[in-house]
Amino acid sequence: MLITFKSKSLPEVMMYQEHAQRILDLLHKNPTRGVITAAEAAQALSVLEHEVALSKLHPEVDAEHEVHTPEQEESGDLPENKLNLRVGFAARAFPLLEMLRSAKQEGQDIIWGV
């Protein structure tokens, strides 16, 4: 399932729910429907930036999903450098962090599920 974050400050940000879940859990928000008000944006930004910093300290345990092709999976031939192909929390959170920064600066809310 996709979650589409919307704000008047930037274009929409779409994320798979499984990827957005960690972010929303940190912000104590419901993945089905919610809002980050302009007043909450500064605190949300601080929480997510802190989590990004922690994830960068431990990249070997941070990666949520490995990137590989179905052909590699079927043959069992995954690349040896698969740690370099992982997508971590910092990369996944980046678009929403940019939206939060813009929403905070422009005094706009971020909504999803509506």
pTM of the model: 0.77
Q: Which helix (H) or strand (E) holds 102?
A: helix 89-106
Tell me how far apart the alpha carbons of residues 108 and 47 are, in angstroms, rounded to a whole number. 18
**What is the residue whose two structure tokens read 């600066």?**
105
- Number of CB atoms found within 10 A of residue 57's CB: 8
Return the axis-axis angle of helices 89-106 and 17-26, rounded to nearest 10°.
60
| pLDDT, position 68 | 44
Tokens of 54: 């922690």
Q: Report whether pLDDT(80) > 70.
A: no
Q: Which helix (H) or strand (E) holds 43?
A: helix 38-57
Choose between 61 and 4: higher pLDDT: 4
Instruction: Judge whether 9 and 95 are in contact, CB under 8 Å.
Output: no
Average the pLDDT over each of 36-40, 58-62, 94-98 and give the range with the smallest value.
Answer: 58-62
Confidence of residue 109 (pLDDT cuts 50, 70, 90): very high
| pLDDT, position 96 | 96
Average pLDDT over residues 97-114: 96
| pLDDT, position 65 | 47
pLDDT tens digits, 19-36: 999 999 999 999 999 999
